[in-house]
Amino acid sequence: MDKILIRGGKRLSGTIPVSGAKNAALTLIPCALLTEEPVTLRNLPRLADIDSFQHLMTQFGVSVSIPGRRPEDFGRVVTLEATRLTSTVAPYDLVRKMRASILVLGPLLARAGEAKVSLPGGCAIGNRPIDLHLKALEALGAEIELASGFVRASAPDGGLPGGEFDFPVVSVGATENAIMAATLTNGTSRLFNAAREPEIVDLCNLLVSMGAEIEGIGTSELTIHGVKRLHGTTHMVMPDRIEAGSYACAAAITGGEVRLEGAREEDMGATIHALRNAGIHVECDKKGMHVAAGGKLIGVNLSTAPFPGFATDMQAQMMALLARAEGTSVLTETIFENRYMHVPELNRMGANIETTGRTAIVHGVTSMTGAPVMATDLRASMSLVIAGLAAEGETEVNRLYHLDRGYERLEEKLALLGADIERVGAD
């Protein structure tokens, strides 16, 4: 198994492009199930999760076409065409690889009137039940049954009638599944306390370009008027706000200065606010974001929250940065109950972090030392890379399959900025 070796102490400087958003792409791909016409996605990141999801789509009879691109290019163009669905079953051996597979449930149900989807897998960052997905679909008129590790969903004869659902807590995935299912209902559906993440706005924009009728995009109250059919379209995947924030942390911990081409200020308000509070200069324009750190890093207090709050997917990266800040920082994780698995690994590198329940207390240190470390989940992996960029000596990051799920050609981008980093095969 491959590993990444980082020899720390290099100041990052330069310009890199921000890839298409993984979290958006994984909800845009299943939209192809809602129409028999081609759906083309541009700027789709080259990631293991994207490849796995495309493979899952072929299970339903979807053709996946990828025009020839130079291998050195970031991103790709992919056309998905579901002219005829040959199956409505998502088997365990495909779904177990990633949690986002549950997002085929709504589109299959809406178009075919039935779906059988294995209960999903993914990162081990806490209990992430799918009950809100199922309750939202039931509110739209679906019949749901759980049996033998599968979700079986069916619509009444003639299709889903539509309905109303008030999410008791904000759920991004459940909101996405409900939106997709509601587009082809026979009536009007209303979703209250819906998630407002930029990736959901991107999903709605794609669906509208396919002929869906959605009101309230970007708000917590969505009204979706069902239509008889959707048509094909071409859509540019939004830039990855988590990737951009991650590279901003990488630049800052090395005292560097980078330009993140394509980063969007409107998607990253809470992250930008946190970076500025930590003493980092952040400037945004229509084409991207400029990040510069030359002075002292300052400890800050952060609490994760649904958008527009501070994203849980940025918590680990900010923790790595704050491990080198002056003073004490307090981080509170409100979304997932088991998302501090990177703390022991950071402490192995010389960080001074204590955890109690959902709270982490980060006592800033003046230096850290490279060490062999083990990635435990996607964002935790990136926190170890960030720490390694500033650590003295060599850091060895193992279990790269986590990183490959969410960061497009990570070592190449960091090398472009001057990092001493390489991917090597295991001994």
Binding residues for phosphoenolpyruvate: 22-23
What the block records as the tokens of 221 is 């109250």
From 336, 378, 329, select the one nearest 357 (Cα to Cα): 336
Strand 143-147 versus strand 114-118 pairing type: unpaired
Helix (H, G, I), strand (E, B) or coil at 272: helix
**How far apart (Å, rounded) are the C-alpha atoms in residues 274 and 330?**
12
Is residue 123 annotated as a catalytic residue, yes or no?
yes
**How far apart (Å, rounded) are the C-alpha atoms in residues 345 and 332?**
19
Query: Side chain identity at 130, as an amino acid letter?
Result: I
The residue whose two tokens read 């497009």 is: 408
| Phi-psi sector, 199: left (phi>0), alpha (psi -120 to 50), beta | alpha
Helix (H, G, I), strand (E, B) or coil at 170: coil
Detail the residues annotated as belonging to a binding site for UDP-N-acetyl-alpha-D-glucosamine. 99, 128-132, 313, 335
Contact criterion met (CB below 8 Å) for 235 and 203: no
What is the distance between the terminal CA atoms of the chain, rounded to a whole angstrom? 8
Catalytic residue among 31, 123, 204, 249: 123
Contact criterion met (CB below 8 Å) for 419 and 387: no
From 312, 281, 326, select the one nearest 123 (Cα to Cα): 312
Contact criterion met (CB below 8 Å) for 47 and 406: yes
List 259's β-bridge partners, or say none: 15, 290
Contact criterion met (CB below 8 Å) for 248 and 258: yes
What the block records as the tokens of 224 is 């979706």
Query: Strand (E) positions, 246-371?
Result: 257-261, 281-285, 288-292, 301-303, 328-332, 352-356, 359-363
Q: Taking the CA atoms of 55, 57, 58 and 63 in sequence, report the sign of the dihedral they define.
A: negative
Helix (H, G, I), strand (E, B) or coil at 168: coil
The residue whose two tokens read 């004869």 is: 157
From 307, 312, 270, 309, select the one nearest 126 (Cα to Cα): 312
**How far apart (Å, rounded) are the C-alpha atoms in residues 260 and 112?**
42
**How far apart (Å, rounded) are the C-alpha atoms in residues 8 and 289?**
24
Catalytic residues, by residue number, are 123
